Amino acid sequence: MLEIVFYILSAITLGTAFLTVYSKNPIHSAIYLVVSFFSIAGHYLLFNAQFLAMVHIIVYAGAIMVLLLFTLMLMNLNKEDEVSKPIYIKFAAVFSAGILALVLISALKTAQPEMIEYVSSNEDYQSIKVLGKVLLNEYMVPFEFASVLLLVSMIGAVLISKKEEKI
């Protein structure tokens, strides 16, 4: 039964993630992304990580999506205002993506999984107290990098959306 739920959630996650990227309308993309976030929270519930699932829904499906939608609406994306890119810029983008894909494929081909034996520490990571200690002690630097990244992206979105003054 859990396997069927896993496959259904996986199909929903992959489908809505594809639709997020493929959709022409940015608002529809944001809605597909919210559905994808909820299905990922469902995966967390399958892993018996209820706290992580609720935090994921609150933080990602709530706060981050509100910021993203606010940014999209602030930018006021219109097709008539969009400048058409020259063909050499499009070619450079496709070429760069191809090179990146080749590098990733070659790196994954040579990578070998490390086989280690799992040792249980008998610690309850579902506890908020233990989770907070782990996040703010062992993973302090990535935690701070994520907050700085969100701050810089908000500042960048506001700067991009500013209207240029006509002289």
Domain enclosing residue 57, as ranges = 1-82
Same domain, 9 and 55: yes
- 26 compared with 141, residue with greater pLDDT: 141
Same domain, 74 and 88: no
Indicate the residue type of 34. V
Q: What is the pLDDT of residue 84?
A: 73
Q: What is the pLDDT of residue 77?
A: 63
| pLDDT, tens digit (0-9, with 9 covering 90-100), for 38-83 | 999 999 999 888 888 888 898 888 887 777 777 777 776 665 655 6
| pLDDT, tens digit (0-9, with 9 covering 90-100), for 89-110 | 888 989 999 999 999 999 888 8
Give me the number of domains the chain comprises. 3
State pTM to two decimals: 0.58
- 12 compared with 146, residue with greater pLDDT: 12
Same domain, 146 and 72: no
| pLDDT, tens digit (0-9, with 9 covering 90-100), for 117-134 | 877 777 666 677 777 888
Same domain, 99 and 135: no
